[in-house]
Amino acid sequence: MDFSYPADVEAFRTEVQEFLTEHVTDAVLEEVDTGTVHSDDLHKAMAAKGWLSGAVPTELGGGGMSPLKMSVLIEELQLFRAPIDAMGVAIGMASIILELGNDFLKGEVVPRLLSGDALGAFGYSEPESGSDVAAAQTKAVRDGDEWVINGQKMWTTMAHVADYVILLTRTNPDVPKHKGLTFFIVPLDSPGIEIQPVWTMGYERSNATFYDEVRLDDKWRLGDVDGGWNVMKTALKFERGIAGGQFYSPPLIDATIDWATDAPAPDGGAMIDDPGLRESLVRAMIDVEVCRCFAQKTAYLADTGAPFGVEGSMTKLFASETFKKHSHWFMDAMGPDGLVKRVEGDGPHVAFVEETFRHAPVTTIYGGTSEINRNMVAEAHLGLPRARR
């Protein structure tokens, strides 16, 4: 395997770095204080750069950005701590509609998503179904040319600022669970939708969304009636493609080094000279390099057209679990300093380690939990027997 990137990918990295240096300002980072990991200005600037439409596959009418460039883009966005919750949803939702949607959805929704004028949200999880997403109970019942939707979704992140949700519903309760599902694109200003905030311990805002007799014309249906599982598989394919690199830890390592450079050590000198902390920092840096190798291999496989699902699981699993571990190490190393919370008026870099400590666990849950990813690796890579469901 060649670990270097082709010249055009490196040139793209430089372009991304220049763009992010200009656009990820302290004001943009401070927008995350609202709990919503999104900045309208940054999102629209990325759309104007052509990176949203560029990420949609060529055969669907997009720019067909290569997986290598995509992984470099995600890596740099993460290294700059750019708030980009809306990006993956826009690219994913537009790609799914372009592959499986009708002409109405292609004309009405896709251009708005890819220009950054409209935002989307994923409405898969429910209070009783997350990992087992096919067990969704939110009901859609046909009434002439319309559908009537009733139910509740959980963790509909971005719903409070989004225009559309891609909603997984049950249209047939009398067949095996994977066979009775149907997807809709639902305008979030439809009568009967209520959105309530749900806060994580990392102060991120997600939502519980309630659907009470929500009426939708059939033109908002995405894919075949009871064919929702095919749509789900397409959605996961695009989600894995977008989730290229996973570089959670580098900003945490940088913040710890910043702190340690000035913090006094108990026996004199600065904490940066403490052998225990130095070892933790180096081990964390090694983990980041391992992560980079996983992410590079995933992108390389995708670039050559090979299956990359299990490598995507390995990358996400390793990156999120080591991130959580690093956040514990550095909180411990900081002692009482690690408990200092940001107060109003502080810049976004203050108390970053404390905030990361509260945020890191959630990265092992969303986008597929560590246990589910371990199952994938055990079955698809190690050839172990299928886990009992």
Q: Which of residues 270-329 bind ligand FAD (CB under 6 A)?
A: none
Which residue lies nearer to ligand FAD by CB, 78 or 125? 125
Stretch in the footprint of ligand FAD (CB under 6 A) among 10-18, 116-124, 137-145, 231-239: 116-124
Determine the Cα–Cα distance for residues 51 and 113; give it in Å rounded to an integer. 12
Position closest to ligand FAD via CB: 130
CB 208 within 8 A of CB 153: yes
Q: What is the nearest approach in angstroms of ligand FAD to the Cβ of residue 94?
A: 16
Residue identified by tokens 């959805």 is 105
Residues near 116 by beta carbon (within 8 Å), at least 6 away in sequence: 40, 43, 44, 46, 47, 48, 52, 90
Which residue lies nearer to ligand FAD by CB, 45 or 365? 365
Residues near 51 by beta carbon (within 8 Å), at least 6 away in sequence: 65, 73
Which residue lies nearer to ligand FAD by CB, 65 or 232? 232
Q: What is the nearest approach in angstroms of ligand FAD to the Cβ of residue 321?
A: 12
Q: Following DSSP, what letter does each residue of 280-300 receive, concatenated? A: HHHHHHHHHHHHHHHHHHHHH
Q: Does 156 bind ligand FAD (CB under 6 A)?
A: yes
Stretch in the footprint of ligand FAD (CB under 6 A) among 3-11, 94-102, 121-129, 253-261: 121-129
Determine the Cα–Cα distance for residues 151 and 170; give it in Å rounded to an integer. 10
Return the half-sphere exposure (C-beta side, CA atoms, 13 A cut-off) of residue 94: 33
CB atoms within 10 A of CB 57: 15
* Helix, strand or coil, per DSSP, at residue 265: coil
Q: What is the nearest approach in angstroms of ligand FAD to the Cβ of residue 90?
A: 13
Q: Does 152 bind ligand FAD (CB under 6 A)?
A: no
Q: Does 375 bind ligand FAD (CB under 6 A)?
A: yes
Stretch 190-219: interaction string toward ligand FAD, x if CB under 6 A: ----------x---x-x-------------
**Would you give the end-to-end CA distance of the chain in angstroms?**
36
Q: Does 246 bind ligand FAD (CB under 6 A)?
A: no
Determine the Cα–Cα distance for residues 375 and 387; give it in Å rounded to an integer. 7
Which residue lies nearer to ligand FAD by CB, 104 or 366? 366
Which residue lies nearer to ligand FAD by CB, 160 or 342? 160
Residues near 2 by beta carbon (within 8 Å), at least 6 away in sequence: none
Stretch in the footprint of ligand FAD (CB under 6 A) among 61-69, 98-106, 177-185, 364-372: 364-372
Q: Does 122 bind ligand FAD (CB under 6 A)?
A: yes
Q: Does 125 bind ligand FAD (CB under 6 A)?
A: yes
The residues that touch ligand FAD, with contacts defined as CB under 6 A, are 121-125, 130-131, 155-157, 200, 204, 206, 362, 365-366, 369, 371-372, 375, 387, 389
